[in-house]
Every structure is written in C-alpha cells, then in structure tokens.
C-alpha cells in the first residue's frame, strides 16, 4: 500500500520501501541522516506535464533550486527537460550534469554582470529580467560581448497565490518581478536597448500553490499585458508561466499537473493565444514527493509537559519545518506492531529551540528506530547548512532495487578545510 501522494513509497511486509529498496536497509548501508530519492517517482511526476503539453510548442524547465543534485539534473536532462536557474552556480551544475544551455532560462532579481557574461557565453535560452536596472546592465554586458541577450520580463501580476508569505512572490509587496503597471514602460525600454532582444513574458506567483484560481487570474493579467505590449509593435513569442504547483505533504489536495495545464491551455486558446510557446518551471512538484530523509532515533526524553523524540537529523539538514512551520509526514521504517503510541515532538541535536522536524506526532518509537521524513525531495538538501558544524547528509538515488550514492557524506574535516588559524 503506497503512502498518499507518494506512489513510489510503500509499506511491504511491514517495512517501508522506496521503490524496491527497504528504507531501513538503506539507512544501515549508507548511514543516517540520509536523503533518498526515487528516480521513478521523478519521472512519474514529469509525465503529466509532458502529456498535457504534447502537440504544443513548449519547454518544461526544471527549477534547479528545488534539488540541484547532479544526478537529479541528469535525470531531467535525459528526459528532455530544460532548466530554470537562479545563479551562475546553478548554471555550472546544469552544464556538469549534461544539460543543454539552449534550454536554460535564467531567473532571479540579482544576477551579477559576471553571471550574465557566462550565461551569454554558453548561450542560455532566455534571461528572465526582473527590473529596468537589470535590463540596462544586461544590455551593456551583451554589447561588450558583441551579443544581444534574449529576454523576457518577469511581471508581477499582483495576485494572491494563497500560500505561505515566505513563498508568495506575485504580490506588489514582494521583491520579485516588475509591477504590472510599470511593465509596458519596461518593454518599451527593452525594445530600444541595443543589447537586448525581447522574446517573451514571464511570471511566477509563488510556491506550494494548491488551487487553480490564482494561476488562471495571473494568466488573464499576463494576457492583458501581452495584448498591450504587442499593440505597440513589440512581438512576444513565448509565455513563461513559472512553477509553483503544490504537492501533498499531509492533506493538501493540489490539482494534478495535467488538469492544471489543460485549464491554462484552454484559457490561452479561448483568448486567441494558443499559438504561443509555453514554458513552465516546476520544481517542488517534480521532486518533492520523490525524496525522504531517513533519520535514526537517538534518545527518547519523555516528561510531564512534553515528550521529545531526539533524532540525528536537524534543522540544518531540513529547514522547512522551522522556516515555514511546514508539516511533513514522519513515519517509522519498521512500524512496531501492537506497541503503544505516544505523542512526540521530533527534534534534532542543534542548539536552537526552533530545531524541530515535527510536532505532536503519534508514534510508537524506541531509540535506534529509523524514521522517514516524507516529501523531503524538494527544498531539503538544497537548503541544508553546516550550522553547529554538522556535515551535510549523504544522498542516494534509488532505481528499482538498485541504490547508489549520488553525494557522499561530508566529513568534519571538509567543513573547515578552507579555514586558517590567525597569525
């Protein structure tokens, strides 16, 4: 029986499996804390995007920041994906993983001139430009390299994505994008700059969006703007509609990717924009439910007020719970049949009261048990830090019954290798 929202993660004969690999065996073999990713799950999450877009001019650009492990990028590159990047570092990862620069879109409010030059050199598909100041800088850099930079302007449609404030990006008080009412002037400026070639329009309204309404509202605003821009003789060929589709962590019920895309395509057709190329930038929805974080229970610390289950993973390994108060599923790898459940806060060893991974969870656990934190494939390892001089977890990719290391566990010596004692 697979877990809700996690088709490749299931209990079989009383043991949690990731595809055909028992999770407890992986923990034993590779140690904990351990990130484990299911390749089948990633490809299964991509399939509805590709299905719904078949027959249309389109590009699915996996958002690298969700999980930038080279093997993850390689998986999507081989499946034909492009990439949405937000830094020069992510660009190098894409190239190292065999990705095609010509399918890369470069987003982000603070691209440096050096990053722009490198992206021009390798020939990225498009720069998603977020301000007129950036437009001027990009034009100068492109001219200095004898090029014209392909550009779409990221517009901020001012719609409420109805998600956590930290991951909402499409409101006027967010730092992202160009305000809707300033976009026309920015397009006029872009069209006259010598180092810029206007290609498209871009928007990304937030993350972990669980209803279609905000998407359709944003699309209408983008189409209004396209019509206004084209009325001035500035041609736009593609619409980049960003990412942001939510996943089921516990009881969320986001629309399926193919249903959402079908609704978006219908709106495009109804308004006479069906011929435009559609670029999408999904991150979380492709990898979130493909990953788990395995962690061993170190100590139980029951008390009159609160019961703490202290595990070897912590906020530095998985920041989402404390950063967004995110609720992530936590399940035992080998459930103790018949044992009494108690209510536990699952906490790590880091010296912060905010270091918790789950609160008030009903579990039957003992020291030495291995727990799986679900839906940890997106914004898990990619947000990990070394706080408290904790080496980052190893990462493992599973394909059927095979499992192999895709990032070695760091050693403590790695963490201070670049430091020096004072003179």
Ligand X SMILES: *Cc1c(COP(=O)(O)O)cnc(C)c1O
Q: What minimum distance in Å lies between the beta carbon of 346 and ligand X?
A: 24
Q: How many residues line the site for ligand X (CB under 6 A)?
A: 18
How many CB atoms within 10 Å of residue 112? 13
**Residue 243 sits in the site that holds ligand X (CB under 6 A):** yes
DSSP-derived pairing of the beta strands 356-363 and 342-347:
antiparallel
Q: Please give the backbone phi and psi of residue 264, each rounded to the nearest 5 degrees, phi first.
A: -65, -45
In the shown chain, the binding pattern of residues 57 to 96 toward ligand X, with x for contact by CB under 6 A and - for none, equals ------x-xx-----------------x-x----------
Residue of minimal CB distance from ligand X? 283
- The Cα–Cα gap between 30 and 101 comes to 34
Q: Enumerate helices (H) and strands (E) in the chain, giving the number of each.
A: 12, 22
Q: Please give the backbone phi and psi of residue 59, each rounded to the nearest 5 degrees, phi first.
A: -145, 125
Q: What minimum distance in Å lies between the beta carbon of 205 and ligand X?
A: 10
Residue of 282, 321, 348, 391 that binds ligand X (CB under 6 A) = 282
* Catalytic site includes residue 351: yes
> Which CB atom, from 242 or from 329, has the smaller least distance to ligand X?
242
Contacts of 72 (CB under 8 A, 6+ apart): 37, 42, 287, 397, 406
Q: Identify the helix (H) or strand (E) that includes residue 238.
A: strand 238-240
Residue of 90, 115, 130, 281 that binds ligand X (CB under 6 A) = 281
- The Cα–Cα gap between 223 and 268 comes to 8
* Cα distances (Å, whole numbers) of residue 298 to 301, 304, 325: 10, 20, 23
Residue of 285, 295, 375, 382 that binds ligand X (CB under 6 A) = 285
In the shown chain, the binding pattern of residues 245 to 274 toward ligand X, with x for contact by CB under 6 A and - for none, equals x-----------------------------
Q: What minimum distance in Å lies between the beta carbon of 128 and ligand X?
A: 7
**Helical pair 180-192 and 132-144, crossing angle rounded to 10 deg:** 20
In the shown chain, the binding pattern of residues 106 to 145 toward ligand X, with x for contact by CB under 6 A and - for none, equals -x--------------------------------------
**Residue 291 sits in the site that holds ligand X (CB under 6 A):** no
**Residue 32 sits in the site that holds ligand X (CB under 6 A):** no
Q: Which of the stretches 210-218, 220-228, 236-244, 392-400 binds ligand X when contact is defined by CB under 6 A? A: 236-244
> Which CB atom, from 74 or from 285, has the smaller least distance to ligand X?
285
Over the range 185-224, which residues count as b (16 or more CB within 10 Å of their CB) and which as e? ebbeebeebebbebbbbbbbbbbbbbbeebbebbbebbbe
**Residue 369 sits in the site that holds ligand X (CB under 6 A):** no
Q: Comparing C-alpha atoms, which of 123, 151, 124 is closest to residue 137?
A: 151
Catalytic residue among 81, 126, 309, 351: 351
**Residue 289 sits in the site that holds ligand X (CB under 6 A):** no
**Residue 283 sits in the site that holds ligand X (CB under 6 A):** yes
Binding site for ligand X (CB under 6 A): 63, 65-66, 84, 86, 107, 204, 207, 242-245, 281-285, 378
Task: Please identify every residue annotated as catalytic.
Answer: 351
């Amino acid at each position: 029986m697979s877990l809700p929202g996690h088709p490749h993660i299931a209990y079989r004969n009383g043991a949690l499996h990731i595809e055909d690999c028992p999770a407890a065996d992986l923990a034993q073999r590779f140690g904990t804390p351990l990130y484990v990713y299911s390749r089948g799950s990633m490809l299964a999450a991509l399939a509805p995007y590709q299905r719904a877009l078949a027959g249309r001019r389109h590009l699915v650009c996996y958002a690298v920041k969700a999980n930038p492990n080279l093997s993850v990028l390689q998986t999507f590159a081989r499946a034909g994906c492009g990439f949405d990047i937000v830094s020069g570092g992510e660009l190098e990862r894409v190239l190292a993983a065999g990705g095609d620069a010509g399918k890369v879109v470069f987003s982000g409010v603070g691209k440096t001139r050096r990053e722009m030059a490198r992206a021009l050199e390798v020939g990225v598909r498009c720069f998603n430009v977020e301000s007129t100041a950036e437009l001027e800088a990009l034009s100068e850099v492109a001219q200095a390299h004898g090029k014209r930079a392909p550009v779409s302007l990221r517009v901020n449609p001012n719609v409420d994505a109805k998600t956590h404030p930290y991951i909402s990006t499409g409101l006027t008080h967010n730092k992202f994008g160009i305000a809707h009412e300033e976009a026309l002037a920015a397009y006029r400026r872009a069209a006259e700059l010598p180092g810029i070639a206007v290609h498209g329009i871009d928007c990304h309204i937030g993350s972990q969006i669980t209803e279609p309404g905000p998407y359709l509202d944003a699309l209408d605003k983008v189409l209004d703007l396209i019509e206004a821009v084209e009325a001035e003789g500035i041609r736009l060929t593609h619409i980049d509609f960003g990412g942001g589709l939510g996943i089921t962590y516990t009881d969320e019920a986001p629309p399926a990717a193919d249903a959402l895309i079908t609704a978006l395509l219908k709106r495009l057709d109804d308004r006479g924009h069906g011929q435009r190329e559609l670029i999408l930038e999904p991150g979380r929805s492709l990898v979130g439910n493909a990953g788990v974080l395995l962690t061993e229970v170190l100590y139980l610390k029951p008390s009159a007020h609160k019961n703490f289950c202290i595990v070897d993973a912590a906020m530095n390994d998985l920041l989402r719970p404390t950063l967004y108060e995110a609720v992530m599923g936590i399940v035992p790898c080998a459930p103790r049949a018949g044992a009494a459940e108690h209510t536990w806060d699952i906490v790590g060893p880091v010296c912060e009261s905010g270091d918790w991974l789950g609160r008030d969870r009903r579990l039957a656990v003992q020291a030495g048990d291995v727990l799986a934190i679900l839906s940890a494939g997106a914004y898990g390892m990619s947000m990990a830090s070394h706080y408290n001089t904790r080496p980052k977890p190893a990462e493992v990719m599973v394909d059927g019954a095979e499992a192999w290391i895709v990032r070695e566990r760091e050693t403590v010596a790695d963490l201070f290798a670049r430091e020096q004692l004072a003179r």
